[in-house]
Amino acid sequence: MTTRRAKGETVGSIMKNEFLAVSDELTVEETIKHFRTASLEKVSKPSYIYVVDPRGYLVGVVQMRDLLSHSPNVHVRDIMLKNVVKVHAEMDQEEAVRYFIRHRFLALPVVNNEQKLVGIITADEMVDIAELEAEDDIAKIIGTGVDEITTHSIRRIVRLRLPWLAISILSGLACAFILGWFERDMKSVIALALFIPIVLGLSESTGMQSATIVVRNMALGRAALKDVRWLLQKEMVVGVIVGLICGMLVGGAATLWQANSNLGAALAISMSISIILSGVVGSCLPFLFRFVRIDPALSSGPIVLATCDIITLLIYFKISAFFLSGS
């Protein structure tokens, strides 16, 4: 078993010192000599040789191949690549993962506030982190954390799950309270109660699916404000299609089973509307959380579920009251 890294760390805390840096005043021959005599650790991750100026600023990068194919007396500053992609020591490791995915380098140099070269991060380390970050976002949405995947501590698991369950309890009590308003409707048409699980279930699924997609798009850096409109439009269209299909199927089934076409119509219409709205809720709330600087992954799950449940119950009973008041 491998040890997994913690998440949410900065590049500075995961970087390594095993890199090769040479002065930009060295020649190719001197650089090769430096490479040959450097301690084993520094070259065991071969990748790149970084070039720094007298102040320690990162000014370029060369590869072994460039050294071997140039005359020994050339200066490295004349053959180095000057446009170095680098990361900052205080950058979040998740952002560093994006750099690796975008640029596909085997290693990236790390600079501090003064632009001085202080370390490297290598792609092999990022494989683990990439997996961890993706897992954690979605683990949070369903109300746990990535730690739970590998921890053996019951106490830790309970602590990860309880805040989420606390919101579920509050939201469930709110649902009970709202259902209390419609006690009389349910007493007269008890069939209304039978369909509570299905009506809620489909709204919840839709809301969670949208929220997960938006949260991951945010992590992938694809959810700028200009994308909000697109994500919303997409959810609306998907919601209309899925809502109509589910509404008609369930409405049809209810009509046949309960021999009550008014109930069927109420179910079809309220499920269609609430599925559409749940998709919108699921795609908007993560943006709202990000705007108020709350972790969208952490808050989206339970709050999207609570919002979808409450909206759905209100729609279901209001529409049913309209259709069934005469029956």
* Contacts to a second copy from residues 74-93, by CB under 8 A: none
Among 6, 85, 106, 288, binds a second copy (CB under 8 A): 106
* Cβ contact 81:67 at 8 Å: no
With CB under 8 A, what is the number of residues at the site for a second copy?
Answer: 105
Closer residue to a second copy (CB): 39 or 113: 39
* Residues 144-183 close enough to bind a second copy by CB under 8 A: 144, 148-150, 152, 154, 157-158, 161-162, 164-165, 168-169, 171-173, 175-177, 179-180, 183
Per CB under 8 A, the segment of 52-60, 82-90, 113-121, 213-221 that binds a second copy is 213-221
The yes or no reply on residue 255 touching a second copy (CB under 8 A) is: no
**Does residue 249 bind a second copy (CB under 8 A)?**
yes
Label the pairing between strands 107-111 and 117-122: antiparallel
**Stretch binding a second copy (CB under 8 A), from 76-84, 252-260, 286-294, 314-322:** 252-260
Helix (H) or strand (E) holding 23: strand 20-23
DSSP 8-state symbol, 9: -
Question: Whose Cβ is closer to a second copy: residue 144's or residue 261's?
Answer: 144
Enumerate the H helices of the chain as residue ranges. 11-14, 28-37, 40-44, 64-68, 76-79, 93-103, 123-141, 147-150, 154-181, 183-188, 191-194, 196-219, 225-258, 261-291, 296-324
Q: Which residue, 233 or 325, has its beta carbon nearer to a second copy?
A: 233
Q: Which residue has the tokens 């339970």?
A: 302
Angle of helix 154-181 relative to helix 296-324, nearest 10 degrees, comes to: 20
Taking a C-beta distance cutoff of 8 angstroms, is the pair 285, 301 a contact? no
Residue 229 as a binder of a second copy (CB under 8 A): the answer is no
Interaction mask 291-310, a second copy, x per CB under 8 A: --------------x---x-
Nearer to a second copy, 15 or 97 (CB): 97
Sign of CA dihedral 131, 132, 133, 137: positive
Is position 40 an interface residue for a second copy (rule: CB under 8 A)?
Answer: yes
Supply the DSSP string of 81-113, one letter for each residue. Answer: B-----EETTSBHHHHHHHHHHH--SEEEEE-T
Indicate whether 9 belongs to the interface with a second copy (CB under 8 A).
no
Q: Is 224 in the site for a second copy (CB under 8 A)?
A: no
* Token output for 67: 């050294």
Q: What string marks each residue from 108 to 127 as x (binds a second copy by CB under 8 A) or -? A: --------------xxxxxx
**Among 52-60, 141-149, 287-295, 318-326, the segment contacting a second copy (CB under 8 A):** 141-149
